[in-house]
């Protein structure tokens, strides 16, 4: 059953370094802005080491003419390369030493409900990798952050949410259900562990203990879904509980169920889930998994 997006952002901020890899993030931001009929704010942060941050030596005209600033030069370049679209796009360029703090402040100023970024870098513009921005935003941003890895091929069709059965995870599930209600599948991923004391005895006893743990974990996940999520959204989330840590389960699900969007809450009820943020952010820097939406309670 397809659902239309609910309570979607009226404005989206894309933090971009204008590199070739960041085109993926731009394409996704444009697709979501079109789908949600939202305004798109393009943010380019210039670092102090950037050649664009140095005085302009390319202006023409009288010596008395006021030279264009570095920010104006980059903004003009970005506007000139924008594709034809019905989406309202605003370009914001400024120099700053901290991309994450700037992205969050600008997003709040424009009333953005979503921040989108990638992990590519461009030495021509800045020497600070956007990867560090992802880590900072995952820990500090009160606005959901979408990290784009893959080239967009239409709407998100398969969405997976890593849950530790906490209230922050429930909030993330509601956000994902509202924004991506037209996804074909939505899966709740719950990784559980089994103590060594439960695995004592012969092979038959161990298998029975593992089967009991699997059944109990699935029941707990299903109960959490039905009690924590609104009745409008709960039935659309398929429970999947496995003996695994959340990082490994999220990665495996990205492969075997072809997830094109993973959703995680930035705080959980235990240290294992809290560690997921740092681990996922690190994986995002090292290897392409899937697009990841981070929702902070």
For the cut 50, the answer to whether the pLDDT of residue 59 exceeds it is no
pLDDT at 247: 78
What predicted TM-score, i.e. pTM, was given to this entire model?
0.84
Here the contacts of 234-240 (C-beta below 8 Å, separation 24 or greater) are 236/1, 236/3, 236/177, 236/181, 236/186, 237/161, 237/173, 237/177, 237/186, 237/187, 237/188, 238/185, 238/186, 238/187, 238/188, 239/187, 239/188, 239/190, 240/187, 240/188, 240/189, 240/190
- Average pLDDT score over the chain: 83
Binned at pLDDT 50, 70 and 90, residue 50 comes out as low
Tell me the mean pLDDT in the region 170-179: 94
pLDDT at 1: 39
Tell me the mean pLDDT in the region 54-73: 60
pLDDT at 222: 97
For the cut 70, the answer to whether the pLDDT of residue 270 exceeds it is no
Nearest to 217 by CA among 209, 206, 205: 209
pLDDT at 287: 59
For the cut 80, the answer to whether the pLDDT of residue 79 exceeds it is yes
pLDDT at 53: 43
Tell me the mean pLDDT in the region 271-275: 62
Q: Please state whether 232 falls in left (phi above 0), alpha (psi between -120 and 50) or beta.
A: alpha
For the cut 70, the answer to whether the pLDDT of residue 272 exceeds it is no
The full length of the chain comes to 297
């Amino acid at each position: 059953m397809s659902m239309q997006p609910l309570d979607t952002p009226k404005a989206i901020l894309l933090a971009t370094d204008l590199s070739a890899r960041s085109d993926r993030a731009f394409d996704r931001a444009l697709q979501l802005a079109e789908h949600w009929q939202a305004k798109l704010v393009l943010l380019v942060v210039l670092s102090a080491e950037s050649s664009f941050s140095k005085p302009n030596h390319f202006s023409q005209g009288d010596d008395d003419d006021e030279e264009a600033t570095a920010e104006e030069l980059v903004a003009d370049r970005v506007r000139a390369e924008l594709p034809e679209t019905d989406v309202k796009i605003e370009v914001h360029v400024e120099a700053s030493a901290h991309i994450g703090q700037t992205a969050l402040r600008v997003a709040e100023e424009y009333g953005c409900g979503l921040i989108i970024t990638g992990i590519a870098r461009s030495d021509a513009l800045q020497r600070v990798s956007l990867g560090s921005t992802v880590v900072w935003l995952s820990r500090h941003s009160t606005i959901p952050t979408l990290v784009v890895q893959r080239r967009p091929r239409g709407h998100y069709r398969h969405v997976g949410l890593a849950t530790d059965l906490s209230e922050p995870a429930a909030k993330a599930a509601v956000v994902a259900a509202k924004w991506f209600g037209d996804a074909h599948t939505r899966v709740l991923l719950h990784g559980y562990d089994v103590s060594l004391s439960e695995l004592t005895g012969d092979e038959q006893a161990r298998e029975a203990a593992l089967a009991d743990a699997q059944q109990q974990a699935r029941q707990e996940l299903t109960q959490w879904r039905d009690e924590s999520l609104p009745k409008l959204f709960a039935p659309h989330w398929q429970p999947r509980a496995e003996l695994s840590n959340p990082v490994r389960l999220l990665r495996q699900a990205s492969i075997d169920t072809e997830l094109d969007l993973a959703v995680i809450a930035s705080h959980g009820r235990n240290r294992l889930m809290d560690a997921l943020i740092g681990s996922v952010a690190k994986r995002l820097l090292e290897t392409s998994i899937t697009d990841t939406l981070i929702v902070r309670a």
